[in-house]
Structure 1
Amino acid sequence: MTPQQSRNAAYMLALLIPAALMGGALISQYVFGLYPCEMCWWQRYPHIAAIVLALLALLALTMRGSRAGDLLVRLAALAVGISGLIGAFHAGVEYHWWEGITTCSRTGEVGGDPLAAIMDAPVIRCDVAQWTLFGVSLAGFNFLISATGALAVFALLGRSNRRTA
Structure 2
Amino acid sequence: MRRLVFLFAFLVPAGLLAVAFYMEYVMGLEPCPLCWLQRFAFMGVAAVGLLAVLHNPGNIGGRIYGFLLALTAGIGVGLAGRQLWLQSLPEDQVPACGTSVDYMLEVFPLMEVLAMAVKGTGDCAKVVWTFLGLSIPGWTAVFFTLIILAGLAVLTGLVRSPARRSLS
Q: Structure 1-normalised TM-score?
A: 0.72
Letter in 2 for 1:44: R
In structure 1, how many angstroms separate the alpha carbons of the residues matched to 2:59 and 2:18?
28
Change (3 A) 1:37 1:159: same
Q: Give 1:16's match in structure 2, choosing from 11, 15, 36.
A: 11
C-alpha contact (below 8 Å) 2:24/2:30 kept by paired residues:
yes
Q: For each residue in 1:78-111, what CA deviation from the matched residue of structure 2 results, as whole angstroms up to 9, or x when unmatched?
A: 21232122112101211217966534442349xx
The number of residue pairs the alignment matches comes to 144
Change (3 A) 1:65 1:161: closer
Q: Any gaps of 5 or more consecutive residues in structure 2?
A: 107-120, 162-168
The corresponding residue for 1:119 is none
The corresponding residue for 2:153 is 155
C-alpha contact (below 8 Å) 1:56/1:69 kept by paired residues:
no
C-alpha contact (below 8 Å) 1:9/1:156 kept by paired residues:
no
C-alpha contact (below 8 Å) 2:66/2:150 kept by paired residues:
no
Could you say what secondary structure the match of 1:86 adopts?
helix
Q: Any gaps of 5 or more consecutive residues in structure 1?
A: 115-122
Could you say what secondary structure the match of 2:125 adopts?
coil
Q: Give 2:44's match in structure 1, choosing from 49, 58, 74.
A: 49
Change (3 A) 1:43 1:104: farther
Q: Give 2:101's match in structure 1, choosing from 100, 107, 110.
A: 107
In structure 1, how many angstroms separate the alpha carbons of the residues matched to 2:98 and 2:8?
31
- 1:16-35 equivalences under 5 Å are 16-35=11-30
C-alpha contact (below 8 Å) 2:65/2:151 kept by paired residues:
no
Letter in 1 for 2:127: A
- 1:79-118 equivalences under 5 Å are 79-96=72-89, 102-108=96-102
Change (3 A) 1:102 1:9: farther
**What is the deviation of 1:124?**
7.3
Q: Once the two structures are aligned, what percentage of the paired residues are identical? A: 27
Could you say what secondary structure the match of 1:160 adopts?
coil
Say what the alpha-carbon RMSD is for the aligned residues. Answer: 3.0
- 1:63-82 equivalences under 5 Å are 65-82=58-75
In structure 1, how many angstroms separate the alpha carbons of the residues matched to 2:59 and 2:99?
42
C-alpha contact (below 8 Å) 2:9/2:49 kept by paired residues:
yes
Change (3 A) 1:27 1:65: same
Change (3 A) 1:96 1:129: same
C-alpha contact (below 8 Å) 1:106/1:124 kept by paired residues:
no
